[in-house]
Amino acid sequence: MATTADFKNGLVLKIDGKLQQIIEFQHVKPGKGPAFVRTKLKDVVSGKTIDKTFNAGVKVETATVDRRDMTYLYHDGTSYVLMDAKTFEQSELEPHLFGDSARFLLENMEVQVSFHEGEPLFAELPANVDLKIEHTDPGLQGDRSSGGTKPATLETGAEIQVPLFLETGNVVKVDTRDGSYLSRVNN
């Protein structure tokens, strides 16, 4: 059990028999009335997000989540095969556990997988990864109708928007949470 004072991003709560992960929270102390905590929760199984308000000091049941560092090995067509970094056991994970970030997976990439009672809940890639641009059209000087960006296909097959000055073969840093270009990596 935890109180609202113990809330932190990433904490998994058991609410109405469902596992809900705290995405963000805010303690609010209005001028009148009691304090409360406003939270945004994500259902671990379905991925649906909801807003929920808790009175300050309320006890909430927490779920025991075991986070393990694993290495991504390969995709066998239906699932992703990962190896536990400590025990060297291999596990097959369903694609939905990665969400949209699966398009940035590279072989031998370190991934953090969260388990509850032996069942995988979700997998998290590093916040950003360095990937090579496999193909992009040359940027034309003066072409600013697209806001100064152009599509680029990365070595994983994912397509993102990059600035016009980047070329095929450049390495870029990509945010795995939203798929946005962060910067060019100097080789």
Length of the chain: 187
Sign for the pseudo-dihedral over CA of 175, 121, 12, 67: negative
Tens digit of each residue's pLDDT (9 = 90 or more) over 82-120: 999 888 889 888 888 888 888 999 899 999 988 888 888
Q: Model-level pTM greater than 0.85?
A: no
Tens digit of each residue's pLDDT (9 = 90 or more) over 54-85: 998 889 998 888 888 999 999 888 899 999 98
Q: Per-residue b/e over 32-44, b at no fewer than 16 CB within 10 Å?
A: eeeebbebbbbeb
Tens digit of each residue's pLDDT (9 = 90 or more) over 131-142: 999 999 887 666
